[in-house]
Amino acid sequence: MQPLVEAGVDVFHCSTRRIWEPEFVEEDPDLTLAGWTKKVTGKPAIAVGSIGINKAYRSEHENDTRDLVVSINENIQITEKKIENGEFDYVAIGRSLLADPDWPKKLQENRLEDATMYTKELEETLR
């Protein structure tokens, strides 16, 4: 990554399937790709991946033995904690924003119950 920093990259956008999952579990059981990127480069990092998805997931990392299941509330709490701890600097929202363009505003206003949540079926409307 250092050649990218030397070439002038100011910020890294780290897209993963699930924002809360650690990337190199053997090295650090909690640090995400965005966290590693920031740690290695010293540059700000943007994390993205399943923010606000209203479904529980399990870790797909074969070496991660934790039972990592998160609900939408846990998803948001984990994301907030990682920002507060400085693991990454910003988040990007994809599918939740496609499902409901007002999703960030509803989150800010503590009205997620009014939000249209992303579902796989919504992808059919994009075809």
Decide if pLDDT at 55 tops 80.
Answer: no
Rounded to two decimals, the pTM is 0.81
Which residue in the block uniquely carries the two structure tokens 């997620």? 112
* pLDDT value at residue 17: 85
* pLDDT value at residue 58: 52
What pLDDT digit, counting tens, does each position of 77-117 carry? 999 999 999 999 999 999 899 899 999 999 999 998 999 98
* pLDDT value at residue 67: 46
Burial 30-67 (b: 16+ CB within 10 A, else e): ebbbbbbbbeebeeebbbbbbbbbbeebebebeeeeee
Residue 119 to residue 64: CA distance in whole angstroms: 26
* pLDDT value at residue 72: 79
Using pLDDT thresholds of 50, 70 and 90, give the confidence band for residue 120. Answer: confident
**Which of 20-29, 40-49, 110-119 reaches the highest mean pLDDT?**
40-49
